[in-house]
Amino acid sequence: MGFDVTLVDASAKKESNVCPHCHLILDTPMQTEEGIRLCKGCLDEIKIKPGGRCNCCDVTVKEGQYYPDRAALREVNAILVFCRHKKFGCSWQGRLELYKSHVAGCEFAGVSCPNAGCHEMVLAIQLQSHLAQCLYRLVTCSHCQEKLVAKDLEGHHSSSCRMYPVDCERCGEKVVHRHLLNHHLQHSCRLEECLVCNSLVDRKTSKHVGSSGDLSHSSSSSSTATDDSSKSQSATPSGGQGGKKSGPRSKQKQQRKGEKSSAVATTEEREEGQGEEDGGYHLGHPTAVFRHVQTLATQQELLRTDMASLSRTTVTRLTEAASRDSHGNEELDEGVIKLIGRLEDQLKAFRRQMETERNNRIAVEER
């Protein structure tokens, strides 16, 4: 196959330098014994035909009856031609003998992108620019150092990158890393969801007024109730009755009593913690029940939610637990039963309050 080129001087194309088989400028000219000039590639094609004859160009080639035509080669090499990529901007022109080497490295030749998945063809001179912007190039996430395809980087940042900085959906604060968001929401976010009205309240605010305007509930009432209980216990006199002075024997008695109380308190706390782990009220020891119910009664938000669901069955179970005190502490049994009585009264009052609120809301809506 000959050279398919554009000549600088069209008149340079002559019958003597054109192959009769492919009708192009001779490439590696060969001559038969009959004096016919052919491209070496075309001559090889004709040789394998039946009888070594081409019916199209009426040329017959016999084995051993041809040779390289050096005179034709000198003539062809001297022809001036343009680069085949002239239409893409290449301005090269030169002798035909240099044509192949130029085309092999021409900057205006079309090349395919080497990135897997990209099928775009670009000019060789534009390849580096394309590679810098190719959607299929490999990039490294600047946050987690994971390597991925550039087109997936935005989705990686918006959903799966654990180290990507995100905004808190509650307070709007910029969290350092996505995987720390849950920790931020649970421990350091300045806003938290109110257990009563489901609105967002300041975590550091001591009290928050409910949406109905008739009930205040503390966002950290558990710790407040515990602090108040500790203060009341520390304010109780530890000496004898009426503040009288106590002698050595009285001090020893008080010391033994204090050690016994500490041991009992430790047992109570352990049993109370076991009850909380079981996910309900622990009925194994009335003292633990007494402390647990007392804590519930001091928390207004739990009074609004848990007291409403406290049924007569729960009160009956507490009474039965008090009567089964394994230590036989009658004073303790009486204390628990008295607490249950007060709890029943509070429950009834709470239900009346809730009924009044409901009636008031219905009346307002009817207006």
SS (H, E, C) 185-207: HHHHCCEEECCCCCCEEECCCCC
Which pLDDT score is estimated for 59?
80
In a domain, 236, yes or no: no
In a domain, 243, yes or no: no
Residues 6+ apart with CB under 8 A from 325: 285, 286, 332, 333
What tokens appear for 31 in the block? 């001559």
In a domain, 333, yes or no: yes
pLDDT above 90: percentage of residues in the chain = 25
pLDDT above 70: percentage of residues in the chain = 54
In a domain, 133, yes or no: no
Long-range contacts of 186-193 (CB under 8 A, 24+ apart): 192/219
Regarding whether 341 and 265 lie in a shared domain, the answer is yes
CA–CA dist 288, 268 (Å, integer): 5
Domain count, the chain: 3
Residue in the structure block whose two tokens are 């489901």: 198
Closest CA to 26 of 94, 92, 97: 97
Sign of CA dihedral 356, 361, 365, 367: positive
- For residue 47, count other CB atoms closer than 10 A to its CB: 14
Residue in the structure block whose two tokens are 């649970």: 186
CATH number at residue 76: 3.30.40.10
Regarding whether 100 and 23 lie in a shared domain, the answer is yes
Regarding whether 227 and 201 lie in a shared domain, the answer is no
Regarding whether 170 and 284 lie in a shared domain, the answer is no
In a domain, 271, yes or no: yes
Instruction: With a cut of 80, say whether residue 129 has pLDDT above it.
Output: yes
Regarding whether 204 and 227 lie in a shared domain, the answer is no
Which pLDDT score is estimated for 159?
81
CA–CA dist 240, 224 (Å, integer): 30
What tokens appear for 352 in the block? 């009346």
> Which of the pair, 286 or 152, is modelled with greater confidence?
152
Regarding whether 100 and 43 lie in a shared domain, the answer is yes
Regarding whether 295 and 188 lie in a shared domain, the answer is no
Instruction: With a cut of 90, say whether residue 189 has pLDDT above it.
Output: no
CA–CA dist 66, 35 (Å, integer): 9
What tokens appear for 60 in the block? 């017959």
pLDDT band for position 290 (cuts 50, 70, 90): low
In a domain, 114, yes or no: no
Residues 6+ apart with CB under 8 A from 305: 195, 196
Q: How far is CA 51 from CA 19, 43, 61, in A?
A: 20, 13, 8
Long-range contacts of 23-29 (CB under 8 A, 24+ apart): 25/76, 25/79, 25/96, 26/2, 26/72, 26/73, 26/76, 27/1, 27/2, 27/3, 27/76, 28/68, 28/73, 29/68, 29/69, 29/72, 29/73, 29/76
Regarding whether 226 and 201 lie in a shared domain, the answer is no
Q: Could you read off the pLDDT of 5-33 as tens digits, one per residue?
A: 888 888 888 888 999 888 899 999 998 88
pLDDT band for position 120 (cuts 50, 70, 90): very high
Regarding whether 180 and 226 lie in a shared domain, the answer is no
Closest CA to 203 of 231, 229, 223: 223
Please compute the mean of the pLDDT values over residues 334-349 and round it to a whole number. Answer: 71
Give the helix/strand (H/E) hosting 68.
strand 66-68
Instruction: With a cut of 70, say whether residue 217 has pLDDT above it.
Output: no
Regarding whether 172 and 89 lie in a shared domain, the answer is no
What tokens appear for 111 in the block? 């090349």
Which pLDDT score is estimated for 49?
82
> Which of the pair, 91 or 317, is modelled with greater confidence?
91
Q: Could you read off the pLDDT of 72-93 as tens digits, one per residue?
A: 999 999 999 999 999 999 999 9
Last residue within a domain, chosen from 57, 79, 105: 105
Instruction: With a cut of 80, say whether residue 263 has pLDDT above it.
Output: no
Please compute the mean of the pLDDT values over residues 131-160 and round it to a whole number. Answer: 90
CATH number at residue 183: 3.30.40
Q: Which residue segment(s) compose the domain that 362 sits in? A: 221-231+253-366
In a domain, 119, yes or no: no
Please compute the mean of the pLDDT values over residues 164-192 and round it to a whole number. Answer: 71
Please compute the mean of the pLDDT values over residues 309-322 and round it to a whole number. Answer: 56
Q: Using an 8 Å Cβ cutoff, are 254 and 336 in contact?
A: no
In a domain, 116, yes or no: no
Instruction: With a cut of 50, say whether residue 44 has pLDDT above it.
Output: yes
Regarding whether 342 and 227 lie in a shared domain, the answer is yes
Regarding whether 194 and 73 lie in a shared domain, the answer is no
